[in-house]
Structure 1
Amino acid sequence: MATMKDIAKLAGVSTSTVSHVINKTRFVSDEIAERVNNAAKELHYTAPSALARSFKTNRTNTLGMIVTTSTNPFFGEVVKGVERSCYHAGYNLILCNTEGDAQRMKASIDTLMQKRVDGFILMCSTLEGEYSEILEKLQSVPVVVMDWGPISLPCDKIQDNSLRGGYLATKHLIQQGHREIGCITGPLVRHQAQMRYQGFKRAMKEAALNINPKWVVEGDFECEGGYQALAKFQDNGKLPSAIFAGNDMMAMGLINAANEQGISVPADLSVMGYDDIHLAKYMTPSLTTVHQPKYRLGKAAVDALIQRISDSGSEPQIVELEPAVIERGSVAEFLGER
């Protein structure tokens, strides 16, 4: 029976390279992988099954990711970064969608446990406040949490600096001459929404600008929330000259509502978003927003989880990626007249 050593000799590579190709434990170039696979085929090599390997090594080289469904493309872009990073690291990914339901999350965790995944990536911010029983199930496995609020589980956390992002977004509007600035927050029970709102308030205070409570509307992080927010602003009197929306989806809904009413963006109303989803630059006008490094968020989560799997005794870490303003067409300089 042929061995990996036989394949390595025929393919002209090291035994460890053969192992990585066959077990898919590390990315190997297509040219080398083809040589190894051709040599294995020529020698009639039969690899041990994944199940047999998992019992021998106590690893399945599989990660589980649990996400909350949303119309927001942000989540899909982060998942793409996770999936690609898993592939390059030689891991498989099983993705479960909770649809914002705590029972589905429990069922998904049970399923992934039965699949013997090596670790979990959690991206389920809509379940904040409901996680104590759920996370008890995860005490025995490595866990990385993405974009969740403060939790008691000692685990690694990957997040964007939402406080800094909200501050930068508002400061950009102020630098463009705006003094009457409104804010559409996300649901304020959500950690990221609260931090972005705190950043908005910090920038306004730093510039000695008053926050008009009539110009602060709580949204839902979806397009509909931004769309409905315009009517709430109008019900409270005149519009501000600029509005910071807590994510791009709400900014898109706001712009759509403004267009329907003949309010020109940015001539009559400047709009600032947050996330820099792929669609943001293709809107009319293109959306000025705060960029979140979504691929890097996904990669950082995979890197942290693999490190945690290898070294479970190290202290939990918080990886915080810095946001940046992306200037496009939805914010105009305010010259003092409207």
Structure 2
Amino acid sequence: MSGAVLPTIREVARLAGVSVATVSKALNDSGKVSEALRERVDTAARTLGYAPHASARSLRSGATRILGLLVADITNPFFLKLVEHIEQLASAAGYSVILCNSSEDAEREERHLGMLLSQRVDGILLIPVRDSWRGRIGALARLPQPLVLVDRMLDGLEADSVTIDNRMAGYLAGEHLLRLGHRHVAIVMGSPEHPIARHRLDGFREALATGGIALDEQLIARNCFNEEAAYRAVLALLDRAERPTAILATNNHLTLGLLRAVTDRALAMPDALSVIAVDDLPFSAIMRPGLTVVMQPSAAIAEAAISGLLDRIGGRAPEGSARAVVLEPRLAVRGSTAAPPRRA
């Protein structure tokens, strides 16, 4: 209650009829206390609404039971799912989570990291922003706490990581379209300098090559970093004299731009155009037709990240080289893909 005076440990001791030292031992499991006395102390603490001071307790134990989670962009539906799974798993293990949204801003990420260090978090989960800040690799390498990279790797940093096989994600999409009979396909992607986008392109190209199809460079829309950029790129693809029969979007934001462009051009999926995406959107399964996607195993990623971090915190992970967990994506076929339309 606002303005209320918080009860003190002395008041708990007075109500329980024991010493302050006994209250401290009973509440912190730091000494021999009989069950009867422990029950009296617990009852008194609950009656008064007393809780041990977290900062003081962490100074004694060296642990805060708090994890830091830095997310590159909280508006990304895939990252939102990861956050939900991570928080649930951390809570089940007795940890609280401080969530920081970097909004793909390097300065914000650096500032958030400093805040988490000041809060003495026990470990950090980092989905890094695309652009670096001065001294980032060195600062992360010198962290006193365990660190696990999630979804995105950082060149030059030896750290535990949990990612998916992004080459396989692109391959699954290309293989699916190839089996349907598509030969004239396009891809909408971010920067080829970014490893995730590049690996998904490489896998897509590789799958098409198994069927003797060379991906047309004119049908690769590069450097699309948001929904609006993807929207404009897809409109340009659809306005070509020979438009593609299928388009792959390599992440959630680009998928939204792709779907908006298809709607504005009044093209029916999959009769006029097949659409496939990497990452599942909240509405992908309920839209009509449903959206065919290559799904990332968000629950498994979160579980591997949390278990790996807690192993490091608890000293259960072997010292030495960083551990890299790479999980497999899977294809979910829905109604937005089909055989290409016959040309007149």
Q: Same fold (TM over 0.5)?
A: yes
| C-alpha distance in structure 1 between counterparts of 2:215 and 2:266, whole Å | 26
1:53 paired residue number: 57
1:242 paired residue number: 246
**Structural mapping, 1:208-247, within 5 Å:** 208-247=212-251
| C-alpha distance in structure 2 between counterparts of 1:188 and 1:41, whole Å | 62
| C-alpha distance in structure 1 between counterparts of 2:293 and 2:65, whole Å | 37
- For residue 189 of structure 1, what is the amino acid of its counterpart? E
Which residue among 39, 42, 64 is the counterpart of 1:40? 42
- For residue 209 of structure 1, what is the amino acid of its counterpart? I
| C-alpha distance in structure 2 between counterparts of 1:173 and 1:335, whole Å | 13
Q: Tell me the secondary structure at the aligned position of residue 187 of structure 1.
A: coil
1:162, distance to aligned residue in structure 2 (A):
0.7
1:226, distance to aligned residue in structure 2 (A):
2.8
Which residue among 135, 138, 144 is the counterpart of 2:137? 135
1:240-271 alpha-carbon deviations (Å, 9 max, x no partner): 11111112332332222122222211101000
Contact (CA 8 Å) 1:248, 1:289: kept in 2 or not? no
1:329 paired residue number: 335
1:60, distance to aligned residue in structure 2 (A):
0.8
Provide the identity percentage: 30
| C-alpha distance in structure 1 between counterparts of 2:230 and 2:174, whole Å | 17
Which structure would you say has the larger Rg?
2
Contact (CA 8 Å) 2:89, 2:306: kept in 1 or not? yes
| C-alpha distance in structure 1 between counterparts of 2:155 and 2:92, whole Å | 30
1:251 paired residue number: 255
**Structural mapping, 1:102-113, within 5 Å:** 102-113=106-117
| C-alpha distance in structure 1 between counterparts of 2:101 and 2:34, whole Å | 41
* Structure 1 gaps, min length 5: 16-35
Q: Does 1:100 align with 2:109?
A: no
Which of 222-231 and 282-291 deviates more? 222-231
Flag the 1:248–1:111 CA change in 2: closer, same or farther, 3 A: closer
Which residue among 136, 143, 159 is the counterpart of 1:155? 159
| C-alpha distance in structure 2 between counterparts of 1:120 and 1:188, whole Å | 28
- For residue 92 of structure 2, what is the amino acid of its counterpart? H
Flag the 1:94–1:132 CA change in 2: closer, same or farther, 3 A: same
- For residue 85 of structure 1, what is the amino acid of its counterpart? L
2:280 paired residue number: 276
RMSD, aligned α-carbons? 2.6
Aligned residue pairs, count: 312
Q: Tell me the secondary structure at the aligned position of residue 283 of structure 2.
A: helix
| C-alpha distance in structure 2 between counterparts of 1:261 and 1:178, whole Å | 21
Which of 38-47 and 48-57 deviates more? 38-47
1:62 paired residue number: 66
Which residue among 115, 119, 143 is the counterpart of 1:115? 119
Q: Does 1:76 align with 2:85?
A: no
Flag the 1:43–1:233 CA change in 2: closer, same or farther, 3 A: closer
| C-alpha distance in structure 2 between counterparts of 1:337 and 1:44, whole Å | 76
1:73-113 alpha-carbon deviations (Å, 9 max, x no partner): 11111111111111011111111122222222221111111
Q: Tell me the secondary structure at the aligned position of residue 278 of structure 2.
A: coil
1:192 paired residue number: 196
Which of 212-221 and 197-206 deviates more? 212-221
| C-alpha distance in structure 2 between counterparts of 1:53 and 1:70, whole Å | 32
Which residue among 140, 144, 147 is the counterpart of 2:148? 144
Contact (CA 8 Å) 2:123, 2:147: kept in 1 or not? yes
Q: Does 1:315 align with 2:315?
A: no
Q: Tell me the secondary structure at the aligned position of residue 189 of structure 1.
A: coil
1:4-40 alpha-carbon deviations (Å, 9 max, x no partner): 6899947xxxx9xxxxxxxxxxxxxxxxxxxx9x992
Give the structure-1-normalised TM-score.
Answer: 0.84
Which of 39-48 and 296-305 deviates more? 39-48
| C-alpha distance in structure 2 between counterparts of 1:205 and 1:62, whole Å | 48
* Structure 2 gaps, min length 5: 1-17
Q: Does 1:167 align with 2:171?
A: yes
